[in-house]
């Protein structure tokens, strides 16, 4: 398509005669007649590209939204079952699915609309090489300047995709620890033991210890005197463990039998018996407290004395010793003792007395 005809026609000097004006109008009309098909083709091509891009973007985003909604509905269905509360955290799964859906929708929109824009510029016969080179340089500069932001974003994406932790989990992120109350692509919010809220950047997390996945271990150390019968101690603890495994709600929180592992340490004044049990995630502390409570009550009934506890029977005090109130004899009471002689005054010589 040539744009030289109108420019050449407009470069003539004034005044213009009637014949010249008619000629110029004829040339302009013929130029338009020759190129209108090209203009129409370019316009239709750009319109078609834009329509296809918008339709494709709408279809993909709608499909992603339906997929996320279906995932959330399946989570709610499982949550209503008997073991749903133990296996699924609806809020955690919802936030995870929403975050993944948001990332996929944003990436889809960027790719489709960016590709459509480049195709429309190509339809106008614009050289895209300088534009792409400039965009690449700008992207490198932006990535270098905002590298921490990019690191946080990418780390958040992989944490969510890999399901390293979620809402309701208790984690140790190194820089802070606590219960996860919100998971974002850039920042994770934790609530500490004292109620404080920690904002942890995902890019700063080097390692994560999740205390709410899989199972937990409840460990209790029972310290008794070395003179106690260890087999009797084991029998009492096993009776407590069997009763605990049958009572509600501990029968659901215990995922394995309570085991007496044996002696953890042997000292002159005490021996330590280690008791362990596999529990639900996040329920180990409660099981440990209940075990200590029941073991202490059972030991009191069985007459087993623990280190630091009161004796089974308080011995009656004997009659006071009458000699306890008598003071010890003093060395100064004897005038011939060395202490008395050293404390006596010195007698002056006879010649000095005169």
* Cα(353)–Cα(347) distance, integer angstroms: 10
- One digit per residue, the tens of pLDDT, for the chain of length 354 reads 444 444 444 444 556 676 677 667 776 767 676 667 777 778 888 889 889 989 999 999 888 888 878 777 765 554 444 444 444 456 667 767 777 777 788 888 888 988 888 888 877 777 777 777 777 777 777 666 677 887 888 888 888 778 788 777 888 888 888 888 888 888 889 998 888 899 998 888 888 888 877 788 888 998 988 888 889 999 999 999 888 888 888 888 888 888 888 888 888 888 899 999 888 887 888 888 999 999 999 998 888 888 754 454 444 445 555 655 555 566 556 666 666 666 666 666 666 544
Q: What is the pTM assigned to this prediction?
A: 0.48
Burial of 222 (0-12, 13-18, 19+ CB in 10 A): buried
Q: So what's the pLDDT on residue 38?
A: 74
Distance of CA 137 to the CA centre of its chain: 36
**What does the DSSP 8-state code read for residue 347?**
P
**Assigned token pair, 148:** 């921490």
Other CB atoms within 10 A of residue 4 CB = 8
CB 252 within 8 A of CB 335: no
């Amino acid at each position: 398509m040539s744009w030289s005809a109108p420019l050449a026609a407009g470069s003539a000097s004034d005044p213009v005669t009637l014949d010249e004006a008619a000629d110029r109008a004829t040339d302009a009309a013929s130029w338009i007649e020759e190129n209108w098909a090209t203009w129409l083709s370019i316009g239709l091509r750009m319109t078609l590209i834009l329509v296809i891009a918008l339709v494709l973007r709408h279809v993909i985003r709608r499909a992603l939204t339906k997929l996320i909604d279906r995932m959330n509905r399946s989570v709610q269905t499982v949550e209503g079952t008997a073991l749903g509360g133990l296996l699924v955290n609806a809020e955690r799964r919802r936030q995870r699915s929403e975050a993944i859906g948001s990332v996929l929708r944003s990436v889809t929109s960027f790719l489709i609309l960016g590709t459509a824009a480049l195709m429309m510029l190509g339809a106008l016969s614009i050289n895209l090489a300088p534009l792409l080179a400039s965009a690449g340089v700008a992207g490198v500069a932006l990535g270098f300047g905002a590298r921490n932001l990019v690191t946080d974003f990418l780390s958040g994406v992989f944490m969510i995709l890999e399901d390293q932790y979620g809402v309701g989990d208790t984690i140790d992120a190194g820089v802070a620890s606590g219960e996860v109350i919100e998971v974002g692509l850039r920042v994770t919010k934790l609530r500490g033991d004292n109620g404080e809220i920690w904002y942890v950047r995902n890019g700063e997390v080097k390692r994560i210890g999740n205390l709410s996945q899989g199972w937990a271990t409840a460990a209790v150390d029972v310290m008794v005197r070395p003179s106690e019968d260890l087999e009797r101690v084991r029998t009492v603890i096993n009776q407590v463990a069997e009763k605990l495994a049958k009572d509600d709600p501990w029968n659901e929180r215990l995922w394995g039998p309570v085991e007496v592992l044996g002696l953890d340490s042997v000292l002159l004044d005490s021996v330590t018996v280690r008791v362990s049990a596999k529990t639900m995630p996040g329920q180990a502390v409660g099981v440990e407290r209940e075990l200590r409570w029941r073991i202490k009550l059972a030991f009191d009934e069985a007459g087993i004395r623990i280190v630091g506890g009161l004796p089974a029977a308080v011995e009656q005090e004997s009659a006071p010793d009458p000699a306890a109130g008598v003071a010890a004899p003093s060395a100064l009471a004897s005038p011939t003792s060395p202490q008395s002689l050293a404390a006596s005054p010195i007698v002056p010589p006879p010649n000095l007395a005169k």
